[in-house]
Every structure is written in structure tokens, then in C-alpha cells.
Amino acid sequence: MKTALITGASSGIGMELAKIHAAQGDSLVLVARNAQKLNELATELSGKHKIRVDVVAADLALENAARDVYNTVKQKNIQVDYLVNNAGFGDFNFLHETKWEKQAMMIDLNIRSLTHLTHLFLPEMVQRRSGKILNVASTAAFLPCPMMAVYGATKHYVLALSEAVANEVADKGITVTALCPGATTSGFQDAAEMRESGFMTNQKFATAQSVAAYAYKSMMRGKRVAIPGFINKLTAGIVRFTPRKMVTSIARKLVDRKK
């Protein structure tokens, strides 16, 4: 029996990935801030699939949270076979109009905690010569994101980190997958305060269930960069051959506030 540790497991893609792993008979370690939602999900999945589900309520934007999660897992003598770094959030506004505290929290959660958890669990995977890591990036990783500048930059980082580490451990029995979904139905848009964005009407949203199913299959196959949806794949390819200024202008038009 294998164990999947999933961050941001209380909703959206993280919750759906938890359900998929549970259906496959994997034990779970569910991590998020909302202990009540995690406990409700744990009760549901453990009862339905007769699996072990551990809950770790933690705010991964805090400096020592990743280390605390790791220590809790070690104290419980749990071996993590699948590490799913899903926790993250965005923000929608001009950079000069945002609150620095929120941008700093975004960087800490989207970049630092993801990197720290990977750094903590990876040595054990290398020692065992087995393990899989799924890092949730975004199609935003492929282009500059006006109105979401810091968010887009954090996802650039996640993609680059994932590809580099995947290369480093390719001969050690471990795979690293960067999931790059496009617009997905979840709580992300409300958290990013995007209700006034043209993005909300310019995009066709995928479901969290379909993205999670694609993510799971991609991780199990060891795919390095997983982009669900033909249009998303096409966009990621086209931007490589399009002048950067043009790409940025188009991205701005897509997300600009509704008139």
C-alpha cells in the first residue's frame, strides 16, 4: 500500500486528487489550513474506501510549516510515496495596487513551501529509488501575466524547478511532473479576486475532477510537463514562437477588467 501526501486538499484539484488516490487504495496525508474540511473529507474517504487517512492542518505560507508537516509525518512513521504539491493561490490587480503582505504570502506558499517539501521528502525517495512528485503549476507558467504578475512568476518557477529536478532524479527511479492546467472550476478565482476580470467570461473552465484525473494519469506515467486540454497545449506551444511583447499584450487583454 502506498501513501500520497496532498497539500491544498480541502477543495478543488487537491480534493479531487485525494478522491482518486483513495479509490486506488492509497493511504492519504491531507494537508490544508481548514481542519474541519479536512476531517470531513478524511471521514468520507476512510469510510468509503477503508484506507488510512491522516490529517495535518497547517498554513504552508508560514515559514516553518513545511518542516512541521514533515516532522509530523515522520513521527507517525508514514512513508510518502507520492508528494502532491497542490497548495497555492493567486491575486488579481496591478502590482503597484496590491498589498505586499498578500504578494509575500503568495511567494511563500507557491514557491517556498513547495520547494521545501520537495527538498524534505526527496532524499528518502532517492534512497528508496522510488517515488513520484506532482507539482501544480499553471498555463500561466508559459507567459507573462499582467494583472497577475507575481502569480504568473511563481508558476514560471514551479515549472522550471520541476523540469530541472525531474532531470536530476531521472536515473534514480523517481519522476517529477509539473501540472499546467488552464482555467479550472475551483475556489481559485474568488481567492484571487478575479470576479471583475474579463478572464471570467473569456475562458471555458475545465472541471477540477477532469484536471485531477489527467494529473493522476500523467504523474503515474512519469510525464514531466502535463498540460490538460488541446487549447492549453496549443497556447503553450505558440507562445514559444511569438514575440514576447505581443504575448504579454494578448495576455493582458484576456484578463483585463470587464468594462
Catalytic residues: 151
CB 3 within 8 A of CB 83: no
- Residue 20 C-alpha cell reads as 482518486
Can you list the positions of beta strands (E) in the chain?
3-7, 27-32, 53-57, 82-85, 131-136, 174-179, 184-185, 206-207, 225-226
- Residue 83 C-alpha cell reads as 508528494
Euclidean distance between the first and the last CA atom of the chain, given in angstroms as a whole number: 53
DSSP for residue 113:
I
Task: List % helix, strand, coil for the chain (3-state, nearest 5).
Answer: 55, 15, 30
CB 153 within 8 A of CB 106: no
Coil vs helix vs strand at 134: strand
CB 2 within 8 A of CB 177: no
Calculate Rg over the CA atoms of the chain: 18
CA distances to 27, 138, 226 from 217, in Å: 18, 17, 10
HSE-up of residue 164 (Cα within 13 Å, Cβ side): 8
Residues β-bridged to residue 55: 30
